[in-house]
Chains A and B, each alone.
Chain A
Amino acid sequence: MLDDFLVRAALAGLGVALAAGPLGCLVVWRRMAYFGDATAHAAMLGVALALAFDVSIFAGVLVVSMLMATLVSTLSGRGFAMDTLLGVLAHSAIAFGLVAVSFLSGVRIDLMAYLFGDILAVSKGDLAIIWGGAALVLALLAWRWQALLTATLNPDLAQASGLDPRREQLVLTVALALVVAVAIKVVGSLLIAALMIIPAATARPLARTPEGMALTAAGIGAVSALGGLQGSLWFDTPTGPSMVCIAALLFLVTLLLDGLRRDLAQRRAGRTSG
């Protein structure tokens, strides 16, 4: 079964989506969307270094993403003007990555594959890494969930309960770098953040509790991954971007439905009171 490249692609997409959904919720709640972007864009630099030093892409991306995520989370604790700084960091990382790759003479690499992903070329080894990494991320989040939520809600509440908000921030940093490292093959450096943010944003109006939102986001991510794969086959479009397109469409649909629902509820309330 795993010999079929489509099956491998579907499983790879599912693995990334399941981990990216819940993590994306935390990223959204903490207003760290920019943070996801910078970390994901740093992946390009990781690719260049991995090729230069002849180590696995996964390892190169993991290390550089981790460094970037740590740098950003340290700076954000210091009260820098973050949006500007992150704009600088995110884009320089990707620019330096692309320039570094061009220096690697001899290796003809397909840049597009790293920028937008190449899910149809996922090997069995890649699949093992993707599912291993995703499982690790989910285990980490499940283990720290209560503490992560409390620290997200308010760092002082966490501190008063004997938790260390900085430690939870570190857990998040590690999880983020892991997701970026496993997702680069699937959606590529430019769209990883989209796979975290869009399902989470889509899940928001559908959920009443944080857990509900995390599970819904995972589900929406999974549907987007499979739908995007199917769509890319039908219309012969690039797979990674197709997945993000499906997620964006789902976002639009829930947004409209939620607006409609509110409108109806308001009218009904108006009728009973008036």
Chain B
Amino acid sequence: MSPLVRLTGASASLGAQEVLSGVDLRIDRGEIVTIVGPNGSGKSTLMRVIIGAVPLRQGRLEHAPGLRIGYVPQKLHIDPTLPMTVRRFLSLPRRVSDAAAAEALTHAGGAGLAGRQMSDLSGGQFQRVLLARALLNRPDLLILDEATQGLDQPGSAAFYRLIEQLRTELGCGVLMVSHELHVVMAASDRVICLNHHVCCEGAPEHVASAPEYRALFGTGTQGALALYRHQHDHHHDEGCSHGDHDHAHDHDHDADAPKTHSHEAR
């Protein structure tokens, strides 16, 4: 099966700073991939590289032909001089029927918001509307940059159930950024730990045990992870056991192999 998106050896700079270097990434239809990493590690930049908003300094970006992307940016500022109802926002850039708009809103937990001004929404409501917009037009790939920020606890849980359901219904791929590590571990097929380069990647239980991951996220996360690991089979011994950056290149050697982590899982 050809991938939805493939990045090969991608490097990108913002201003004078090299934000991403030598990133390889492949997303297939029907898989949920989560990017984790500390603040400023280039996660949002990677999302923007994938939608084509940040040019690559090196490397290659390939999209499946006719790829439709539903994108939820981390931040969206709407200028106060621009009047915009939720309903109107959902019709950008492609007009959608009232029925489709209402359905997407309901899906995203924002039913009844259609007539409101975007500027009057609460943070969580705004986030739900962004998500609803991303669901329209049957996307092949959902790109969600911290899409659950500001959602209440039930909202966030419902969100991850929705993602799971969409993946099954639409067969779309999902690429998301999240800081909610324990949820990520349960909700993803594959986790990529990013710190300007790919530190380690693979099935959640595999990444959770990688020393690079622990080095980045410290011991504070171990409780949740230990709990997680106890409930799952794990294979620590592959891939990410090197202590330095070399392992990133290790993945390069078997260009097709790293992705098998997720295939194995099924």
Contact = CB atoms under 8 A, between A and B. Distances in A.
Interface of A: 28-31, 79, 146-147, 149-150, 152-163, 200-201, 204, 207-210, 212-213
A95 B186 CA distance: 66
Contacts, number: 73
B81 interface: yes
Interface of B: 15, 48, 51-53, 69-71, 73, 76-79, 81-85, 88-89, 91-95, 117, 143
B107 to A, nearest CB: 19
A156 B134 CA distance: 13
A30 B93 CA distance: 17
14 contacts: A30-B79, A149-B93, A153-B76, A154-B77, A157-B71, A157-B73, A159-B51, A160-B69, A160-B143, A161-B69, A161-B71, A207-B83, A208-B85, A210-B88
Best-buried of A31, A146, A161, A208 by chain B (most CB within 10 Å) = A161
B93 A150 contact: yes
B74 to A, nearest CB: 10
A214 B53 CA distance: 28
Decide if the interface of chain A is mainly helix, strand, loop or mixed: helix
A70 to B, nearest CB: 20
A146 B94 contact: yes
A159 B81 contact: no
B11 to A, nearest CB: 19
Given A160-B69, A209-B85, 5 more contacts: A30-B79, A79-B15, A152-B82, A159-B51, A161-B69
Nearest to B63: A162
Contacts of B143: 160
A154 B73 contact: yes
A156 B73 contact: yes
A212 B85 CA distance: 11
A208 B117 contact: yes
A183 to B, nearest CB: 22
A156 B79 CA distance: 15
Nearest to A206: B83
Nearest to A26: B82
Contacts of B77: 154
Nearest to B66: A162
A204 B76 contact: no
Given A155-B53, A156-B71, A208-B117, A150 B79 contact: no
A163 B48 contact: no
Contacts of A160: 51-53, 69-71, 143
Contacts of B85: 208-209
Contacts of B78: 153
A208 B71 contact: no
B76 A154 contact: yes
Most A CB contacts (10 A, CB to CB) among B15, B70, B89 go to: B89
A210 B88 CA distance: 9
Contacts of B93: 146-147, 149-150, 158, 161, 163
B83 A153 contact: no
A149 B53 contact: no
Nearest to A149: B92
Contacts of B69: 160-162
User: Which of B78, B83, B89 counts the most chain A CB atoms within 10 A?
Assistant: B83
A197 to B, nearest CB: 10
B145 to A, nearest CB: 9
A172 B212 CA distance: 48
B82 A31 contact: no
Contacts of A153: 76, 78, 82, 84, 89, 92
B248 to A, nearest CB: 27
A210 B53 contact: no
Nearest to A154: B76
B104 to A, nearest CB: 15
A207 B119 CA distance: 13
